[in-house]
Each structure stands twice: as structure tokens, then as C-alpha cells.
Amino acid sequence: MCGIIGYIGSRKAANILWDGLKRLEYRGYDSAGICTINNNHILIEKDVGKLEEIQNKINFNSMNGNVGISHCRWATHGKVTKENAHPHCDNNNKISIVHNGIIENFQELKERLIKKGHKFKSMTDTEVVVHLIADNYNGSIEEATRKALKQIDGSYALGIVCANEPDKLIAARNESPLIVGLGEGENFIASDVPAILKHTNKVIYLDNNEMAVLTKDNVTIKNNNGEIIHKKIAEIDWDSELAEKAGYRHFMLKEIHEQPRAITETLNGRIENGNINLANELNLNEGELKRINRIIIVACGTSWHAALAGEFMLEELAKIPVEVEYASEFRYRNPIVNEDTLVIAISQSGETADTLAAIREAKKKNANVLSIVNAKGSSISREADSVLYTYAGPEIGVASTKAFTTQLIVLYLFTLYMSNIRNSLNKETIRDLIGKLRKLPLEMETLLTEDKGIKKIADIYKDKNNALFLGRGINFPIALEGALKLKEVSYIHAEGYPAAEMKHGPIALIDKNMPVVVLATKDVYTYKKVLGNIQEVKARGGIVIAIATEGDEEIRKIADYVFYIPRTLYILSSILSVVPLQLLAYYAATDRNLDPDKPRNLSKSVTVE
Ligand code: AGP
């Protein structure tokens, strides 16, 4: 998830562009750069590292010019290097581009352009676009861009400048967000409002397949056929602190709502022609993966809950024995591990001390280590033998939300990939499972847009100090995650249990002061048993909040509150089921006037033992 800003006006572009990038740093970055046009020459400065590191290496103040583009990169195609950082330019140094998104057909375009004599400096998909525009340039940067876009498949938010036409700034959007900011004698483009709110609160939200041609005094919006479109001008009424949260009161709520996009970006480029394609991200080839006879997953906290869900997926579908270990236990237990063991380490930050120590222990014992990480270039992602990134973008809220659901997505992708290699599922079944996976972002979007009264249900917790979360099968880790979310942001003591465990102790706790959330989505195995568990709670005067499958009328007769989720595959329903639990925790915290982004005693990454 990269950040883009562009400026055209009478002021010095470089300062405005760099300041704007710093307001997008929540989008994450591993490199950044700026391009301005001065006296019909392209100036580009870029480097790897965090913004404050780059700022010390490059003197952006020396970059003159009143038009420019800038970019902070969260690498998708091509490693984190200076050459792969944006902006990119053509071989004649006349056209420069910044891009957020994924060009699906970049390889074939690149081969075609190389045959025509274009020379590439980077491994990125983005650089193909600037060469394609140059290849079509015939005196109009707008026309050349339009012709290039007609040949591109994929998602993009683009900022483009041309040394021959310094009075223009071009923007184009398909899937990746891009806005136009309208100033007085100056205009802007940006990935998100925070980057330009300091200069204007009048914005136009570009829609898919739309292009904007900006001069310092005018903005024209066109469709990809060049026809002018009239767009509404929105007025943003946020203060700048709110702007960084894109209008949400807290990062936690913003990140809960970012999950559909985070899942889409995590899926991007990993499903091709009905198959899962992870080969170029793994260091084990198919033969080596077939030889793996045991998987151990190590993690902490929320990532450990994802690991438990991953165990269910891998054993159920890929038929591989899996054990899940707290990283802090694994590292001191002298575990039995060898070269036929795959150790998977899951970590949002990629810096959790116990998880890092666990993979070092595993590598000492010749296990192959795969990491599932969100933070690019973090220690765990570098020290593991390979890494499958979640593309959730930086997670600012201490309570992990979008990182968790994208961890489940990566585990599901890896499960299907292994199922195919090990023939534990036939191709038809895998294609069907992939089809259901592709629908998940939209199902989650529906869940988040329709107000299902979760805020009202959260009122239950106002005067409560204890809570229980129950689930069976893959919903047991979801119950654990719901309990962790509630306790870490609202300070209500909450426990998660396998629903069947009720009778072995926890049922002694049940009364009207112990709200019980029950994950009761329909599955072939345990749904009826879960109904029985709900009856047990009700029989003792407990309050039951059920998370159920859309259309299930039976559950409405016995639960006090029901939150429905869209009907989908049982395994995938667990990814949807966690969303109401995240929202319950968020509202329970705000009802108590607590700041869910900064819970007491907690830090975002536990880099100490
Ligand atoms: C989750 O909401 C917590 N913030 C915490 O349990 C976290 O999941 C745990 O510290 C592991 O962090 P990691 O994923 O960055 O390794």
C-alpha cells in the first residue's frame, strides 16, 4: 500500500511533496522519492529507508520546480532497492511516474518494450508503465497516457509529469485510491486526504478508469475514452489528526474497516488461472515441500491465534500434521525438529523477540523456516528462509485487526498451495475454494457497511467486568482472539474456551453478569453441539451473543442477540466472524472513554523477552 502526492502551482513543489509524504507514513514505506520539473528538465531524488533516514541523505530543498510527484513505496514487485524506488522515468528522462497498485500484465508488456529498444533499470511493474507512455508519446502526455492505459491490466493510482509539458500534471486511477485537491492557483493529487489537507479541503475522488489533467489553474476529469466527466467536489471537515485516521476516530476502527482492502492486496498477484502461485515467494521447491512431514507454527498473541486457525486449515485440507507453539515456550523447550520439519513463524511486526528467538532455535536444528509477516524488511522476514507477506499496510493500533485477518488469508493460500502440491485435494475442489476466497473482501465489505447494531450490542459490557467467548473447531481460535481484543482495549477480563469445555469448569462462572459470545456459524460437524452449549448458558441465566450464519432462524430463538455473517465456506466464515468481535471490543473500550489505539501497559511490538 504505497503513498502518492503530486503538486502543480506557483510554489516550490519539493517542500510540499516531502511534507505530504510524511503525512502518509501510516501507509508504510521502505523507500521514497521525489521528481520535479525545472527548466524542462526532470530532477529525481530517491532512496531506501524510512523517511527521516532518506531526508538526511538527500537535500530535497535543492530541487527546484513548481510541478512534481512523490511516492513512498511498500514493495510488491521487486526488492527494496534504490533502483526499484519511485519515481521512475523513461530512457530519455522526459517522462516520470509514481504508482500504487499491481500491473498484472507487466511481464508481457516489458518483453514487448525491450524488443522495441527500451532499457529497464528496475525490477518493478511500475517502470513498464512509464516506458509504455514514452512509447506512445507524440507531443501530448495526456494522449500518450490514455493510449498506455488501454494496454494495461491491473490496479493503479498514477501520477505523471513530462519535461516537455511542465504546465501539466496527469493522474489516473483504477482500483487504487486517488484524489485530486483543488487549491487557489495550485492543484494536488494524493493517495489520501492527509497528504494535502494542510493546503485544501476541496477534493475530487477519482473513480475507476478515470483520468485527471491538472494545470495550476484548472482540473479536467476524463474517462479513458477522453470524454470529459463532471465530478462532485467534496469538502473535507477533518482536522489534520483526524485526517491521518482518514476520518475515523481511532486507528483501530480505521484498520478494522481497511480489512477488505488489506485482504484484496494480500490476494493480489497470488491467484493466477484458478491456481495459487506462491512459488516465487518460497525458497522450497515442490519436491522439498512434498518431503515436509510435519509443520510447527510459532507465534505470540493474536498471531498465535492465527496459528491455531492455520493448524485447522492445514490438517483439514492439506492433511499435514501441525503443532502450534507459543514462541516463548518453543525457544526454551529443546524441541524435536529436523530438516523434514517446516517451522512457520507468524508476526505482524516481524520484531517480536520470542518469535525471532524461536526461528533462530529452529534454524539451529536444520528446520526450514517460513515467516508470515506484515512489516517489510523486518528481522523475522529477513532471518527466515522465506517470507509470505501480508499486505495489510502498517497497523498503527496496538490491537491487531487487519494483520490478523490477512494472516488467515496467507495461511489459507499456503494451505491450498500445499493441497495442490500434495494432491490432498483435486483441482476442481481447489478451484471452488479459490472462487469462494475471491468473494471474501466483498462479503467483509458488506459486513462492515451494513449497520448490524453491533454498537448497541456492545452496550451490554458497560457494567460488566468479565466475559466468555466460546467456539468449536476453527472457531475456537476466533473465540480466543475475541477475548484478547476485548481484554486488551477495554480491560474487561475475558476468556476464550472451546465450547465443549464449558462443563469442565467455566460453567461455574455463568450468571447474568458474564456475557457469553458464542461462535455459532453453520458447519457440518458441531453446529448442533454449539446450540446445546447456548442452551446450557441460558439455563443458568447467562446472556448469549451469537455470531451466526445469515438465514439461521433457529439460533434467534435461543440467543439473546444474534450478529449474522454472510454464508460462506465454514473455514472462511471464521475470517468473517472475527470482525464483529473486533467491533465489540472497540465499542466496549470507547464506551468506557478509553483510547483503543493506546491501551495501558501494551506496546505494538514486544521486542523484549
Ligand atoms: C494483538 O492484538 C496484540 N497487540 C499482541 O498480542 C500481538 O499480537 C503480539 O504481541 C504478537 O505481535 P506480532 O504479531 O507483531 O509478533
Residue 124 CB less than 6 A away from ligand 1: no
Residue 348 CB less than 6 A away from ligand 1: yes
Q: What is the pLDDT of residue 608?
A: 66
Mutate to test the pocket of ligand 1, among 348, 381, 582 (most ligand atoms within 8 A of CB): 348
Q: What is the pLDDT of residue 241?
A: 66
Predicted confidence band at 239 (pLDDT cuts at 50, 70, 90)?
low
Residue 396 CB less than 6 A away from ligand 1: no
In percent, the amount of the chain with pLDDT more than 70 equals 97
Distance CA 193, CA 532 (A): 50
Residue 582 alpha carbon to ligand 1 centre in Å? 14
Q: What is the pLDDT of residue 28?
A: 60
Q: How confident is the model over 422-455, as pLDDT tens digits?
A: 999 999 999 999 999 999 998 998 888 776 789 9
Taking the CA of residue 380 as reference, the ligand 1 atom at the shortest distance is 16
pLDDT higher than 80, residue 231: yes
**Looking at this protein, which amino acid is placed at residue 3?**
G
337-346, 474-483, 508-517, 596-605: the lowest-pLDDT one = 596-605
Cα-flanking dihedrals φ and ψ of residue 195, to 5°? -65, -25
Q: Which residue ranges make up each domain of the chain? A: 3-242, 245-447, 452-591
What integer is the mean pLDDT of 524-549? 94
Residue 399 alpha carbon to ligand 1 centre in Å? 7
Residue 371 CB less than 6 A away from ligand 1: no
Q: Which fold has domain 3-242?
A: Glutamine Phosphoribosylpyrophosphate, subunit 1, domain 1 (3.60.20)
User: Which residues, other chains included, contact 372 with Cβ-Cβ below 8 Å and sequence gap of 6+?
Assistant: 306, 344, 345, 346, 347, 387, 388, 389, 390, 407, 410, 411, 414
Q: What is the pLDDT of residue 106?
A: 94
Predicted confidence band at 79 (pLDDT cuts at 50, 70, 90)?
confident
Residue 397 alpha carbon to ligand 1 centre in Å? 11
pTM of the shown model: 0.72
User: Which residues, other chains included, contact 400 with Cβ-Cβ below 8 Å and sequence gap of 6+?
Assistant: 301, 302, 303, 348
C-alpha of 367 from chain center = 29
Q: What is the pLDDT of residue 378?
A: 80
Task: Count CB-CB contacts under 10 A for residue 549.
Answer: 20
Residue 347 CB less than 6 A away from ligand 1: yes
Predicted confidence band at 329 (pLDDT cuts at 50, 70, 90)?
very high
Q: What is the CATH number of domain 245-447?
A: 3.40.50.10490
Residue 424 CB less than 6 A away from ligand 1: no
- Cα 591 to Cα 371, 456, 467, 584: the distances in Å are 37, 11, 16, 10
Q: How confident is the model over 159-191, as pLDDT tens digits?
A: 999 999 999 999 999 878 889 999 999 999 998
- Residue of 447 and 127 predicted with greater confidence: 127
Mean of the per-residue pLDDT values for the chain?
Answer: 92
Q: Are 235 and 201 in contact (CB under 8 A)?
A: yes
Q: What is the pLDDT of residue 433?
A: 94
User: Which residues, other chains included, contact 257 with Cβ-Cβ below 8 Å and sequence gap of 6+?
Assistant: 248, 448
Query: Nearest 5°: CA angle at 139, between 134 and 142?
Result: 70
CATH architecture of 452-591: 3-Layer(aba) Sandwich (3.40)
Task: Identify which of 541, 12, 254 has the alpha carbon closest to the alpha carbon of residue 34.
Answer: 12
Predicted confidence band at 2 (pLDDT cuts at 50, 70, 90)?
confident
Mutate to test the pocket of ligand 1, among 302, 374, 383, 402 (most ligand atoms within 8 A of CB): 302
Identical fold between 245-447 and 452-591: yes
pLDDT higher than 90, residue 490: yes
Active site residues: 2, 604
Ligand 1: residue whose CA is nearest its atom 10: 301
Predicted confidence band at 240 (pLDDT cuts at 50, 70, 90)?
low
pLDDT higher than 80, residue 606: no
Q: What is the pLDDT of residue 77?
A: 64
Residue 379 CB less than 6 A away from ligand 1: no
β-strand partners of 466: 493
Mutate to test the pocket of ligand 1, among 352, 597, 608 (most ligand atoms within 8 A of CB): 352
Q: What is the pLDDT of residue 449?
A: 78
Residue 300 CB less than 6 A away from ligand 1: yes
- Residue of 603 and 414 predicted with greater confidence: 414
pLDDT higher than 90, residue 302: yes
Ligand 1: residue whose CA is nearest its atom 4: 399
Q: What is the pLDDT of residue 76?
A: 60
Residue 202 alpha carbon to ligand 1 centre in Å? 38
Q: What is the pLDDT of residue 524?
A: 73
- Residue of 91 and 54 predicted with greater confidence: 91
Residue 51 CB less than 6 A away from ligand 1: no
User: Which residues, other chains included, contact 26 with Cβ-Cβ below 8 Å and sequence gap of 6+?
Assistant: 194, 244, 251, 393, 394, 396
**Looking at this protein, which amino acid is placed at residue 282?**
L
- Cα 344 to Cα 10, 79, 318: the distances in Å are 53, 22, 15
Predicted confidence band at 116 (pLDDT cuts at 50, 70, 90)?
very high
Q: What is the pLDDT of residue 128?
A: 97
Cα-flanking dihedrals φ and ψ of residue 69, to 5°? -135, 155
